[in-house]
């Protein structure tokens, strides 16, 4: 694999992460408008919202089996247009059955998309021989900011959902298709997992992957707490205005972008274990500050710490899974990706239940405690070559030369 091909592949994959960030933000930030358009009751809405991550988990499982027969790049090339077309379908329908079908397609496709994107990211990082995974997720964060801004414009101008989604899809869909020409798969053959036993490659043992699955779940419980409860918490608990209550999530997204943009340098210099530990402590501090904040501005400081801390955990968890199972990284990533959606499903209802039963300040201590679980399993992020900085960087030619074993 040439350096030029890897650079093109890295840029193309960053485009894919960006496009996915745009699409997901356009969906989740317009949920109230979707509910109004289709007349979805408050009782039925949680069913629709839960169905998307459940089907995404199914899409990730399906991808695990698909990549035994086709390259992850093929799955990504097909699933990303489906996600964008499903998004248009959400805005184009008029009956509940139509939005249910569109959301179902979105969920299945997004599971395949998330899994295949991270498979390519893990394999490219292995080929580079240094940390680049956080950069891909920074592109996703940037896409989320752009998508949320476009959604705000659509709401501000009172555009229909379809007209709000159409210009964005018209731009990012061709961009994703063009970029897909330069996707780079790793050296692992499509059927390498199926023949792992005969080739001597290490199979994916769930017991060994479990610590990373727990970390992924806890990270997304923290993330979903911010996305679902930050506005309500600031307004109802800290007494902010309705306008100011929209700020914490934007701060969170911007700080995740900043943290991920510089995070790879931290991993190269200090190693993944140190960066994950520091991020975990900072995220826990953020929840603690939010829980005891006397007012809105201190609360927003807590959400700033949260964004800077949590942003490093998920990309490094995917990277650690690839290092843990070098001959079956695609399978490991697909299985780990399921726990992204598990955390998303658990987080919001858990915080809501604790808040109703106790109070919402106390509820913020629950994701804080769960995020700290990462410290228990921090050594799972270690590997012999995880310190990539100047003195510690592995020769890139050695990684490329090892072929599939580098994955």
Distance of alpha carbon 13 from alpha carbon 140, whole angstroms = 10
166 in the same domain as 229: no
pTM summary value = 0.88
Distance of alpha carbon 405 from alpha carbon 90, whole angstroms = 42
The full length of the chain comes to 407
Question: What is the tens place of the pLDDT at every residue in 131-170?
Answer: 999 999 999 999 999 998 898 888 889 899 999 999 999 9
Question: What is the tens place of the pLDDT at every residue in 68-125?
Answer: 999 999 999 999 999 999 999 999 999 999 999 999 999 999 999 999 999 999 999 9
Residues of the chain above pLDDT 70, percent: 90
Would you state the structure tokens that stand for residue 402, as one six-digit string? 């090892």
174 in the same domain as 205: no
340 in the same domain as 263: yes
Question: What is the tens place of the pLDDT at every residue in 183-230?
Answer: 999 754 444 444 333 334 568 888 899 999 999 999 999 999 998 889
Is a pLDDT exceeding 80 seen at residue 282? yes
Residue 288 lies in a domain: yes
369 in the same domain as 250: yes
291 in the same domain as 336: yes
101 in the same domain as 229: no
Residue 407 lies in a domain: no
Domain's final residue, options 158, 185, 212: 185
Residue 354 lies in a domain: yes
Domain's final residue, options 122, 152, 185: 185
Determine the structural domain holding residue 107 and report its residue range.
1-185
In whole angstroms, how far apart are CA 305 and each of 47, 172, 253, 273, 278? 32, 31, 11, 19, 11
The b/e string for 36-56 (b: 16+ C-beta within 10 A; e otherwise) is: ebbebeeeeeeebbeebbbbb
Domain's final residue, options 185, 211, 232: 185
262 in the same domain as 170: no
Residue 243 lies in a domain: yes
Residue 273 lies in a domain: yes
Rounded to an integer, the average pLDDT of 171-184 is 97
Residue 404 lies in a domain: no
212 in the same domain as 353: yes
145 in the same domain as 217: no
Distance of alpha carbon 285 from alpha carbon 177, whole angstroms = 41
How crowded is residue 257: how many other Cβ atoms within 10 Å of its Cβ?
22
Helix runs in 67-160, H state only: 72-92, 96-128, 133-156
pLDDT of residue 256: 96
Distance of alpha carbon 123 from alpha carbon 67, whole angstroms = 13
Domain count, the chain: 2
123 in the same domain as 153: yes
Residue 193 lies in a domain: no
Question: What is the tens place of the pLDDT at every residue in 188-198?
Answer: 444 444 433 33
217 in the same domain as 169: no
Estimate to the nearest angstrom the gap between the alpha carbon of 294 and the chain centroid.
31
55 in the same domain as 28: yes
Residue 118 lies in a domain: yes
Rounded to an integer, the average pLDDT of 336-358 is 93
**Tokens 């580079």, located at residue:** 128
We report the CATH number of the domain holding residue 133 as 1.20.1250.20
């Amino acid at each position: 694999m040439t350096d030029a091909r890897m650079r093109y592949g890295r840029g193309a994959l960053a485009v894919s992460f960006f496009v996915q960030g745009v699409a997901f933000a356009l969906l989740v930030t317009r949920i109230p408008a979707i509910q109004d358009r289709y007349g979805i009751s408050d009782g039925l809405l949680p069913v629709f919202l839960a169905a998307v991550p459940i089907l995404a988990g199914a899409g990730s499982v399906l991808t695990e089996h698909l990549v035994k027969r086709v390259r992850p790049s093929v799955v990504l090339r097909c699933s990303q247009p489906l996600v964008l077309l499903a998004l248009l379908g959400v805005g184009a329908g008029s009956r509940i059955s139509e939005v249910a079908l569109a959301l179902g397609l979105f969920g299945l496709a997004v599971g395949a998309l998330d899994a295949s994107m991270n498979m390519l990211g893990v394999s490219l990082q292995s080929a580079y021989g240094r940390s680049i995974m956080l950069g891909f997720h920074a592109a996703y964060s940037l896409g989320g900011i752009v998508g949320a801004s476009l959604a705000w414009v659509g709401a501000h101008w009172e555009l229909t959902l379809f007209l709000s989604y159409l210009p964005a899809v018209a731009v990012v869909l061709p961009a994703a298709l063009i970029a897909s020409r330069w996707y780079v798969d790793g050296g692992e053959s499509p059927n390498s997992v199926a023949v792992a036993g005969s080739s001597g490659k290490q199979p994916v043992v769930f017991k060994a992957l479990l610590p990373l699955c727990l970390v992924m779940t806890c990270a997304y419980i923290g993330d979903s707490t911010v996305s679902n409860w930050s506005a309500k918490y600031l307004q109802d608990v800290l007494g902010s205005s309705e306008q100011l209550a929209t700020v914490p999530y934007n701060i969170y997204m911007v700080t995740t972008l900043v943290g991920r943009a510089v995070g790879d340098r931290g991993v190269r210099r200090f190693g993944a274990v140190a960066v994950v530990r520091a991020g975990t402590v900072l995220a826990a501090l953020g929840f603690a500050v939010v829980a005891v904040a006397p007012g809105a501005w201190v609360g927003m400081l807590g959400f700033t710490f949260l964004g800077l801390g949590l942003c490093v955990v998920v990309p490094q968890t995917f990277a650690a899974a690839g290092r843990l199972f070098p001959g079956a990284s695609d399978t490991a990533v697909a299985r780990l990706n399921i726990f992204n959606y598990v955390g998303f499903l658990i987080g919001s209802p858990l915080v809501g239940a604790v808040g109703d039963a106790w109070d919402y300040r106390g509820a913020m201590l629950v994701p804080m405690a769960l995020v700290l679980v990462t410290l228990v399993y921090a050594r799972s992020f270690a590997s012999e070559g995880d310190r990539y900085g100047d003195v510690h960087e592995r020769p890139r030619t050695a990684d490329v030369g090892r072929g599939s074993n580098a994955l």
